Structure 1
């Protein structure tokens, strides 16, 4: 926790300095990325196999299945998943597929400790064990254990539940999330209230994710919303390997925090500055005073598409119907902003990229978060790294072979 405070103080202090000097964090130079990176279906498939199916991917927030017996179903990259909370409080992640004829076992979310297959009524416990075969005397003798639901590696920490979409592939979760999960854990999400979610659809997942990594577009794309309170093209960055902490200064930052001692700046998130926390490869977290938004980007079904689930949580449940309605309105408003002012622009970006007008796009020195993101992608997709992931990721030291263990820090300067 002390390390988290130091990082927050450092980023906030740099933001304050940028406000005074009208500067921003900068990378060492420009970076070009091939336009085909956003349009090539073969590359997209490689990203799915090497990154999304072999790293811990957010599947749910703990608050969604907070009590024993709670369950949630979802599809990630055409993988049907069933998440359950067991009596001992632990979480199971399983393929949501009946061992008999491949029927999806459950739908939606709710509370129950047994699941009856809707096709032939085979009965499973919420731990995945087959409990009963309907008409077993006529079906024939089988070993029930062989029909147990296929288990997926699952990790829960900081109020978030992650799965690995490759069965049997245990990873070094702590090594991968590193200090970022400690940062998130300090927020106390595990005890927060789940308000609901909204969905939006957009362009290639990297087109969408690029937008979460910079504030360079605030003035042009968000003139009456974000830019009304937050500077455009003024940000400070830190990173825990591939995961990023991005600070954006509010226009009142100097007035509010100009006299605050440097070692107390970490106490003032949302009161002078805001943080975006990103989890590689596809999560962005914005903690706001009114409500917290956690964006979960799900690639596909094709290279030029993504489905984003915006999860919303608060420190406590609404205490009245009026508060609940206010939450609904806030969730609708935030969805509208992200959809109309980000994702609709992203779809036009996708059209431009697919036109072939330019062979490359260019990230400026003032977009260091995007540069780190694309360097990390390049690392994972490199032949050597991909082979190492396949061969070693199951070992406890394997994640340390990734880009996030190489001490990759953003190079920043006043510009």
Structure 2
């Protein structure tokens, strides 16, 4: 069965849910301790066992498509530098000079064949090799081969550059993504245009992530933004390992799909139905007709905080100044929806959980995706090699 045949079946299931007033459901409700959102020790285990070991999205291919392009960022408290080498492949390294530990490049994008430390002018090629020591006769002997930038495991797949923050801990990105890579490849994201980004701050990363995994809150939390487009509390879930494709039928699903031959339903995402794709542990992707939003959730220094980078891409660059202005307005609007509606609620949830008012959070049968997500977080932070992974 081809990719679009699978999507067609999921569209059919969403239409069935609408017609029957039902939704994709777990077998029972599930409770998660409130401490999972507030306990510093639990948070530290998540960082150590999940974020420091798993491949993380560090950049979109569209952010740095040309040889010499680079991106410098803080990722989980680590200064990271991603570069595109002259042969078109990518490198990832810690953005730290091997002389005295100075940060080489400030956060942002650019294009450079080499990087010179702003402290003592040691110089590195864009693959991280040390190529120059300032005034070497006075400094003394240095083995350049041993003093390059600390390399990080890196791979490029599905229009995304993935990095592991633990040096030497290699990964198989194809195996990690599984069927989710088919989704990314179907869109050929590597050829898209990077529009820009926005940054917002919110509650515990799991509170923020919970919002991407259910539409139960659409009517109450998004009455004028999302709910006019999408049914509240009707979802469809498909899992690929820890990753999920979450389907949300639009209120016009019958009308939209009724105008398309059934065999072609799988080729018409956004026409009657939408998906949010979550890539564990911290990525949410929403392909909209106007623009695509990629949300990157980064746990903060305390359990009650996260930094979210919203990155935006679309198939074509702006046609003209008016189109560019429209893109900027759309990015601002999407940021405001997440910040003013989702994160405003999430911060109040965080405050409520930290008060000690309730010992646990309960997820309903309808919140199947949330249940699966929390089972996977628990499973990975326990790091028991004899334990089988959860199933949806």
Structure 2 length as normaliser, TM-score?
A: 0.98
How far residue 164 of structure 1 moved from its aligned partner, in angstroms, is 0.3
1:211: which partner in 2?
211
Measured in 1, the distance between the counterparts of 2:203 and 2:24 equals 28
1:51: which partner in 2?
50
2:373: which partner in 1?
373
Conservation of the 8 A alpha-carbon contact between 2:157 and 2:173: no
Structure 1 length as normaliser, TM-score?
A: 0.92
2:88: which partner in 1?
89
Measured in 2, the distance between the counterparts of 1:336 and 1:81 equals 28
Conservation of the 8 A alpha-carbon contact between 2:93 and 2:149: yes
2:110: which partner in 1?
110
2:73: which partner in 1?
74
Measured in 1, the distance between the counterparts of 2:186 and 2:388 equals 25
Measured in 2, the distance between the counterparts of 1:305 and 1:26 equals 30
Conservation of the 8 A alpha-carbon contact between 1:11 and 1:236: yes
2:328: which partner in 1?
328
Conservation of the 8 A alpha-carbon contact between 1:251 and 1:272: yes
Conservation of the 8 A alpha-carbon contact between 1:68 and 1:86: yes
Measured in 1, the distance between the counterparts of 2:262 and 2:234 equals 19
For the residue of structure 2 that corresponds to 1:232, the secondary structure is coil
How far residue 373 of structure 1 moved from its aligned partner, in angstroms, is 0.3
**1:19-59 alpha-carbon deviations (Å, 9 max, x no partner):** 11111111111000000000000100000000000000010
2:249: which partner in 1?
249
Q: Does 1:65 align with 2:60?
A: no
Conservation of the 8 A alpha-carbon contact between 1:15 and 1:248: yes
How far residue 296 of structure 1 moved from its aligned partner, in angstroms, is 0.4
How far residue 258 of structure 1 moved from its aligned partner, in angstroms, is 3.3
Conservation of the 8 A alpha-carbon contact between 2:285 and 2:292: yes
**1:181-240 alpha-carbon deviations (Å, 9 max, x no partner):** 121111110000000000110000000000000000000000000001111001111111
Measured in 1, the distance between the counterparts of 2:142 and 2:382 equals 45
Conservation of the 8 A alpha-carbon contact between 1:215 and 1:232: yes
**1:253-312 alpha-carbon deviations (Å, 9 max, x no partner):** 011113644432111111111011000110000000010000000111211100000000
By relative contact order (CA 8 Å, sep 6+), the higher-ranking structure is: 1
Measured in 2, the distance between the counterparts of 1:113 and 1:182 equals 33
Quote the RMSD (CA, aligned, Å): 1.2
Measured in 1, the distance between the counterparts of 2:189 and 2:349 equals 34
Measured in 2, the distance between the counterparts of 1:282 and 1:129 equals 31
Measured in 1, the distance between the counterparts of 2:388 and 2:241 equals 9
For the residue of structure 1 that corresponds to 2:62, the secondary structure is helix
Measured in 1, the distance between the counterparts of 2:170 and 2:184 equals 22
Measured in 1, the distance between the counterparts of 2:53 and 2:263 equals 39
Measured in 1, the distance between the counterparts of 2:237 and 2:290 equals 24
The structure-2 alpha-carbon separation of the partners of 1:69 and 1:131, relative to structure 1 and needing over 3 Å to count, comes to same
Measured in 2, the distance between the counterparts of 1:162 and 1:117 equals 25
Measured in 2, the distance between the counterparts of 1:352 and 1:128 equals 46
Range with bigger deviation, 14-23 or 304-313: 14-23
How far residue 402 of structure 1 moved from its aligned partner, in angstroms, is 6.6
Measured in 2, the distance between the counterparts of 1:354 and 1:263 equals 50
How far residue 382 of structure 1 moved from its aligned partner, in angstroms, is 2.1
Conservation of the 8 A alpha-carbon contact between 1:67 and 1:89: yes
Q: Which runs of 5+ in 1 are unaligned?
A: 389-400, 411-415
1:10: which partner in 2?
9
The structure-2 alpha-carbon separation of the partners of 1:383 and 1:186, relative to structure 1 and needing over 3 Å to count, comes to closer
The structure-2 alpha-carbon separation of the partners of 1:116 and 1:383, relative to structure 1 and needing over 3 Å to count, comes to closer
1:279: which partner in 2?
279
